[in-house]
Amino acid sequence: MQNGRAIPLFHASMPPNQPPHPLRSSKANQPDNQSKDRTRRRTSHHPPSIRETIRIDSPIPHADSLLPMLSQLQKTVTFLALLGCFSVGSMAGVQADERPNVLLILVDDLKPALGCYGDSIAKTPNIDSLANRGMRFEMAYCNQAVCAPSRFTLMLGSHSTSTGLYGLGSQLRQIIPDAVTMPQHFAKQGGYRTESLGKTFHIGHGNHGDPESFSVPHFKEKVIEYLEPASTDGGQLTREEAYFTNQMLGRIKTLPRGAAYESPDAKDEDYADGRVAAETIQRLQAAKQRQKTEGTPFFIASGFARPHLPFSAPQKYWDLYDPASLPMPTHETLPVDAPKVAGKRGGEISNYKPVPTEPNADFDDELKRNLIHGYYASVSYVDAQIGKVIKELDRLELLDNTIVVLWGDHGFHLGDLGIWTKHTNYEQANRIPILITAPGVTQPGSSTKQLAESVDIFPTLSELAGLPAPSGPQPIDGVSLVPVLKDSSARVRDHAYHAYPKRQLGRSIRTERYRLVEWKAFDGKGDTAYELYDYQTDPNETKNLASDRPEVVQRLTKILAKYPAPAKRKR
Ligand SMILES: [Ca+2]
DSSP letters for 207-231: EE--GGG-SS--B---SS---SGGG
pLDDT at 430 over 60: yes
pLDDT at 347 over 60: yes
Compute the average pLDDT of residues 561-571.
88
Distance of CA 536 from the midpoint of ligand 1 (Å): 28
Q: Known catalytic residue: 413?
A: no
pLDDT at 170 over 60: yes
| pLDDT given at position 171 | 92
Cβ–Cβ under 8 Å, residues 273 and 385? yes
Distance of CA 429 from the midpoint of ligand 1 (Å): 10
**What are 442-480's pLDDT values in tens digits?**
999 999 999 999 999 999 999 999 999 999 999 999 999
Residue 155 confidence class, pLDDT cut points 50, 70, 90: very high
pTM: 0.85
Cβ–Cβ under 8 Å, residues 376 and 121? yes
Compute the average pLDDT of residues 497-521.
97
Which of the two residues, 550 and 29, has the higher pLDDT score?
550
- Number of residues that this document lists for the chain: 571
**What are 69-128's pLDDT values in tens digits?**
433 434 333 333 333 333 333 333 334 347 999 999 999 999 999 999 999 999 999 999
User: Would you list the domain boundaries of the chain?
Assistant: 3-561
**What are 480-496's pLDDT values in tens digits?**
999 999 999 999 999 99
pLDDT at 20 over 70: no
Distance of CA 86 from the midpoint of ligand 1 (Å): 38
| pLDDT given at position 233 | 96
| pLDDT given at position 359 | 82
Which of the two residues, 84 and 418, has the higher pLDDT score?
418
Q: φ, ψ for residue 133 (rounded to 5)? A: -85, -20
Q: Known catalytic residue: 21?
A: no
Q: Is 510 strand, coil or helix?
A: strand
| pLDDT given at position 360 | 86
Compute the distance between CA of residue 280 and CA of residue 393 in angstroms, rounded to an integer.
10
| pLDDT given at position 35 | 36
Distance of CA 146 from the midpoint of ligand 1 (Å): 5
Compute the average pLDDT of residues 310-335.
97
Contacts of 53 (CB under 8 A, 6+ apart): none
Q: Which CATH number fits domain 3-561: 3.40.190.10, 3.40.50.300, 3.50.50.60, 3.40.720.10?
A: 3.40.720.10
Catalytic choice (116, 147, 410, 413): 147
Number of H helices, E strands in the chain: 17, 20
Distance of CA 276 from the midpoint of ligand 1 (Å): 17
**What are 199-222's pLDDT values in tens digits?**
999 999 999 999 999 999 999 999
Q: What percent of the chain has pLDDT over 70?
A: 83
**What are 268-301's pLDDT values in tens digits?**
999 999 999 999 999 999 999 999 999 999 999 9
For strands 402-408 and 431-437, give the pairing.
antiparallel
| pLDDT given at position 47 | 36
Cα–chain center distance at 560: 23
Distance of CA 175 from the midpoint of ligand 1 (Å): 21
Q: What is the mean pLDDT of the chain?
A: 86
Cβ burial, residue 131 (10 Å; 0-12/13-18/19+) = buried
Distance of CA 328 from the midpoint of ligand 1 (Å): 22
| pLDDT given at position 569 | 83
Which of the two residues, 442 and 48, has the higher pLDDT score?
442
Catalytic choice (46, 202, 373, 423): 202
Distance of CA 76 from the midpoint of ligand 1 (Å): 48
**What are 21-30's pLDDT values in tens digits?**
334 333 333 3
Cβ burial, residue 71 (10 Å; 0-12/13-18/19+) = exposed
